[in-house]
């Protein structure tokens, strides 16, 4: 969240979010279209987002410099979005994706950010600069403000922003990936629900069209471990394959498949669909869930070594949360499965899960939002 | 992924909460629990007093009408962190300190307004007349789409330090588009700045009256601009865009170390008079005696005062900007996009003093 704090500026400012990678720095710049039009010198209705002039404008006003050597800036995409601000309410913003790469390999942790889009003309404009990803610095997904480019009023000038990121390390990166993995499972209700319905009938013996009686504690626990291991194996494989982008599936369909996996598992928990083949099913659905995990890591754009390290950390985080879930769910299911009320409980839970999964399915088909 | 659902739920909650909180727009006669706890202090007759003596008397009377909890909100310590709390945003977006008008009953409100009147000048469309019009402007915003964040009930009165004929204190009346902040020391006004005035809408009709609280300010700048020679205009005009005031709220003691623009020593007497006319539209916001003193100081420095302009000469288009920058005086006027009336512009303006701002208190 961007705090408006007490700046009391009635006009929205620019925000630049930086992604610090091993060998490059990418940025997403958001700026009010009105002010951009003023600075660009073209009425906002006549701005052509694909014009070479517009690209040249940004190439002239966005630069990263280390040791007096400018990096190369590349404009990846430009579009206009509708935004909302508590003060001016709805307004249009220009959203720019760029990436800066040093000509010769150099550290990406100490640099001068020479950004003066808009402010070169609109002197009252301000640019807030955040780092939203710095794997080595342990910043992932959060927003750390590193400074502001604004007019120094007494001096009558604005200055480039000198950024010195604290020393990073692979351990910090690894640690942040573990917590990202844990966070992802804890936040990802769909993964939790899938595991829950998968484990719901695992203590029971299938009896034709219905679930039968409680088997035994040792059978149940072994079964549960088998299912969880198969699921873990499945998602670990596709997490690895997906994160390295050896296979790339549309994110929307992966999400739809996850909803489907919960629907099918819910039916199975209600009455056996694939009795005795649960291991294979868990493995198969593990593949699907792993693709979803991978899409998170793909966005982080790490070098191969850091990526492998990250996959390990991320997966470890996921497993930690799974084990935590098991320690709660296992004794509960073990205890409940023996009771006669369990039939009703299992049916109600699986019916509710089915409905939730249906809802997700529809939502992901019709209201899918690319992250 | 689950955003649409969450948004729906939030929207629902928002609609519910909004429908519950329709505040009354007008504060006159607003309910207050103060009558039951009003102190028994005698209310003095201030009629025979003048100037700051009368102001202090009115302050004492106002305090006598307040409950102890109201008094605690009103009477604050004189610290820089307290006196800099004015803003150009509605109080709901940039919280003020002091007592809100909405928390006063009719007689308390009348007493509060009397204080503001005593601090202000009597020139029509300036001074207290301008203050009243800007209160009305906020009521107009509230009634025409702005909602409960706007309106005179969201203006605040605060005493920083105890109003007394000895020692230093500031009285601040602050709300969305007007801040009056006068500092007094040992019974004398030592600063009338920072002073903020803005208006949305620019003008409106209410009953038989047409209001345009900052039209004189705008017209005064247009007058200056249209009477400059092309050489003078070239010196005053910059191509840089100013979308806002440089020294709005929070930008305290940030005056540029060098002044820029057209130096007024090159103006002829008629042109200088137009600059003085513009100064008057700010200085006359303060009580007449002090306005005259401040004006004569600013006039004596006019040859060392600079004019800076950006945008169009009509001062009615977004990003139009005018500045008067002297050894003491600092006035900025900025034309910005409308907030409630999106297709119109609105004015923001600040008057500061390079030396005497906040009575020279800096931290």
d(CA A127, CA A146): 11
Could you count the other beta carbons within 10 Å of the beta carbon of residue B223?
A: 15
Residue-wise burial string across A310-336, b where 16 or more C-beta atoms lie within 10 A, e elsewhere: bbbbbbebbbebbeebbeebbeebbee
CB contact under 8 A, B246 and A124: yes
Indicate whether A370 pLDDT > 70.
no
Of B3, B93, B243, the CB nearest to A122: B243
d(CA B141, CA B200): 7
β-partners of residue A144 are A131
CB contact under 8 A, A123 and B247: no
CB contact under 8 A, B4 and A39: no
Predicted confidence at residue B27, as pLDDT, reads: 37
| Contact yes or no for A295/A227 (Cβ under 8 A) | no
Among B241, B246, B256, residue whose Cα is nearest residue A155:
B256
Mean pLDDT within B249-277: 97
Q: Vertex B340, ends B335 and B346: CA angle to 5°?
A: 15
How far is A148 from chain B, CA to nearest CA, in Å?
15
pLDDT confidence bin for B1, thresholds 50/70/90: very low
Backbone angles phi, psi at A134, to 5 degrees: -150, 90
Predicted confidence at residue A369, as pLDDT, reads: 65
Of A11, A190, A255, the CB nearest to B244: A11
CB contact under 8 A, B243 and A7: no
With an 8 Å Cβ cutoff, is A35 touching chain B? Answer: yes
Say what the ipTM of the complex is.
Answer: 0.84
Judged by average pLDDT, the poorest of A108-122, B6-20, B81-95, B299-313 is: B6-20
How far is A6 from chain B, CA to nearest CA, in Å?
7
Predicted confidence at residue B8, as pLDDT, reads: 40
CB contact under 8 A, B89 and A8: yes
Give the best-scoring range by mean pLDDT among A20-29, A199-208, A321-330: A20-29
Q: Where are the beta strands (DSSP E) in A319-371?
A: none
d(CA B133, CA B144): 16
CB contact under 8 A, A363 and B248: no
List chain A domain ranges. 14-168, 171-366
Strand, coil or helix: B332: strand
| Chain A residues within 8 A of B241 when measuring between CB atoms | 38-39, 121-124
Predicted confidence at residue A335, as pLDDT, reads: 86
Could you count the other beta carbons within 10 Å of the beta carbon of residue A271?
A: 16
Contacts of B150 (CB under 8 A, 6+ apart): B90, B138, B139, B141, B142, B176, B340
Pairwise pLDDT comparison (B187 vs B16), residue with the higher score: B187
How far, in Å, are A335, B157, B351, B356 from residue B82 at the CA level? 62, 13, 19, 17
Of B246, B251, B336, the CB nearest to A10: B336
Pairwise pLDDT comparison (B7 vs A36), residue with the higher score: A36
Mean pLDDT within A353-364: 91
With an 8 Å Cβ cutoff, is A88 touching chain B? Answer: yes
Instruction: Give the DSSP H or E segment for A154.
Output: none
Indicate whether B107 pLDDT > 50.
yes
Contacts of A367 (CB under 8 A, 6+ apart): B4
How far is A75 from chain B, CA to nearest CA, in Å?
26
> Residues of B near A (CB-CB distance < 8 A)?
1-5, 87-89, 93-94, 240-251, 254-258, 260, 318-319, 336-337, 339, 348
β-partners of residue A27 are A18, A98
Of B240, B246, B319, the CB nearest to A153: B246
List chain B domain ranges. 47-206, 215-360
d(CA A132, CA A126): 19
Indicate whether A327 pLDDT > 70.
yes
Predicted confidence at residue B80, as pLDDT, reads: 97
Among A98, A41, A102, residue whose Cα is nearest residue A71:
A102
CB contact under 8 A, A8 and B249: yes
Predicted confidence at residue A39, as pLDDT, reads: 96
pLDDT confidence bin for B38, thresholds 50/70/90: very low
Indicate whether B5 pLDDT > 80.
no
Predicted confidence at residue A293, as pLDDT, reads: 82
How far, in Å, are A25, B71, B302 from residue A45 at the CA level? 31, 54, 43
Mean pLDDT within A194-214: 84
Q: Residues of A numbered 36-75 whose beta carbons fall under 8 angstroms of chain B's beta carbons: which are they?
A: 38-39
Q: What is the dihedral of CA A319, A322, A323, A324, to 10 degrees?
A: 120
Q: Vertex A265, ends A259 and A267: CA angle to 5°?
A: 105
Predicted confidence at residue A352, as pLDDT, reads: 93
CB contact under 8 A, B1 and A255: yes
Predicted confidence at residue A278, as pLDDT, reads: 85
β-partners of residue A133 are A19, A140
d(CA A97, CA A17): 10
| Chain A residues within 8 A of B258 when measuring between CB atoms | 156
Indicate whether B278 pLDDT > 90.
yes
pLDDT digits (tens, 9 = 90+) for B138-193: 999 999 988 999 999 999 999 999 999 999 999 999 999 999 999 999 999 999 99
Helix, strand, coil % in chain B, rounded to nearest 5: 40, 20, 40
CB contact under 8 A, A10 and B2: no
pLDDT digits (tens, 9 = 90+) for B40-74: 456 778 988 999 999 999 999 999 999 999 999 99
Contacts of A95 (CB under 8 A, 6+ apart): A28, A29, A30, A78, A79, A80, A81
pLDDT confidence bin for A2, thresholds 50/70/90: very low
CB contact under 8 A, B248 and A9: yes
């Amino acid at each position: 969240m961007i705090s408006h704090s007490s700046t009391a500026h009635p006009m929205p400012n620019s925000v630049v979010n930086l992604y610090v990678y091993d060998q490059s720095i990418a940025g997403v710049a958001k700026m009010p279209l009105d002010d951009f039009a003023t600075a660009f010198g073209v009425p906002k209705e006549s701005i052509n987002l694909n014009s070479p002039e517009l690209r040249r404008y940004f190439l002239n006003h966005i630069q990263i410099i280390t040791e007096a050597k400018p990096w190369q800036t590349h404009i990846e995409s430009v579009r206009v979005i509708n935004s909302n601000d508590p003060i001016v309410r709805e307004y249009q913003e220009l959203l720019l994706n760029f990436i800066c790469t040093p000509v010769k390999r150099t550290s990406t942790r100490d640099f001068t950010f020479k950004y003066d889009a808009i402010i070169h003309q609109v002197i009252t404009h301000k640019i807030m600069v955040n780092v939203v990803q710095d794997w080595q610095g342990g910043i992932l997904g959060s927003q750390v403000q590193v400074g502001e480019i604004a007019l120094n009023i007494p001096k009558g000038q604005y200055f480039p922003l000198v950024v010195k990121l604290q020393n990073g390390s692979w351990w910090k990166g690894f640690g942040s990936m573990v917590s990202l993995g844990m966070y992802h499972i804890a936040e990802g209700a769909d993964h939790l629900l899938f595991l829950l319905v998968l484990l719901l009938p695992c203590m029971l013996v299938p009896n034709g069209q219905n679930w039968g009686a409680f088997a035994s504690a040792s059978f149940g626990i072994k079964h549960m471990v088998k299912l969880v291991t198969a699921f873990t194996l499945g998602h670990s494989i596709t997490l690895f394959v997906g994160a390295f982008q050896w296979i790339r599936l549309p994110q929307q369909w992966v999400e739809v498949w996850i909803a489907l996996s919960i629907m099918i598992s819910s039916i199975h928990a209600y009455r056996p669909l694939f009795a005795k083949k649960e291991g294979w099913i868990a493995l198969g659905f593990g593949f699907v869930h792993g693709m979803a995990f991978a899409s998170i890591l793909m966005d982080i754009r790490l070098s191969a070594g850091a990526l492998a390290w990250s996959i390990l950390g991320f997966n470890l985080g996921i497993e930690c949360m799974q084990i935590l879930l098991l320690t709660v769910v296992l004794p509960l299911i073990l205890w409940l499965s023996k009771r006669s009320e369990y039939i009703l409980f299992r049916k109600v839970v699986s019916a509710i899960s089915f409905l939730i999964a249906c809802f997700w399915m529809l939502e992901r088909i019709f209201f899918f939002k690319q992250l | 992924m689950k955003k649409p659902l969450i948004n729906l739920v939030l929207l629902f909650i928002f609609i519910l909460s909004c429908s519950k909180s329709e505040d009354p727009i007008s504060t006159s006669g607003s309910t207050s629990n103060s009558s039951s706890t009003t102190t028994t202090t005698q209310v003095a007759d201030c009629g025979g007093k003048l100037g700051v003596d009368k102001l202090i008397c009115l302050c004492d009377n106002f305090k006598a009408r307040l409950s102890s909890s109201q008094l605690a909100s009103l009477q604050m310590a004189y610290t820089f962190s307290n006196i800099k709390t004015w803003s150009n945003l509605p109080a709901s977006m940039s919280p003020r300190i002091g007592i809100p008008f909405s928390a006063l009953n009719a007689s308390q409100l009348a007493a509060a307004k009397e204080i503001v009147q005593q601090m202000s000048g009597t020139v029509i469309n300036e001074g207290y007349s301008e203050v009243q019009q800007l209160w009305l402007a906020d009521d107009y915003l509230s009634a025409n789409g702005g909602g409960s964040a706007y309106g005179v009930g969201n203006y605040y009165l605060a005493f920083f330090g105890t109003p007394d004929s000895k020692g230093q204190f500031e009285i601040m009346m602050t709300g969305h588009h007007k801040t009056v902040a006068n500092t007094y020391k040992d019974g004398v006004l030592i600063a009338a700045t920072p002073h903020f005035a803005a208006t949305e809408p620019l003008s409106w009709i209410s009953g038989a009256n047409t209001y345009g609280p900052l039209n004189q300010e705008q017209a005064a700048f247009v007058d200056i601009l249209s009477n400059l020679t092309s050489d003078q205009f070239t010196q005053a005009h910059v191509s840089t865009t100013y979308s806002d005031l440089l020294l709005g709220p929070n930008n305290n003691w940030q005056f540029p170390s060098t002044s820029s623009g057209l130096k007024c020593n090159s103006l002829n007497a008629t042109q200088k008079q137009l600059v003085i006319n513009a100064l008057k539209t700010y200085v006359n916001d303060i009580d007449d005696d002090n306005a005259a003193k401040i004006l004569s100081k600013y006039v004596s420095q006019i040859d060392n005062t600079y004019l800076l302009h950006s945008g169009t000469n009509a001062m009615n288009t977004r990003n139009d900007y005018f500045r008067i920058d002297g050894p003491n005086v600092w006035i900025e006027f900025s034309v910005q996009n409308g907030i409630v009336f999106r297709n119109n512009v609105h004015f923001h303006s600040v008057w500061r003093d390079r030396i005497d701002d906040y009575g020279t208190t800096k931290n």
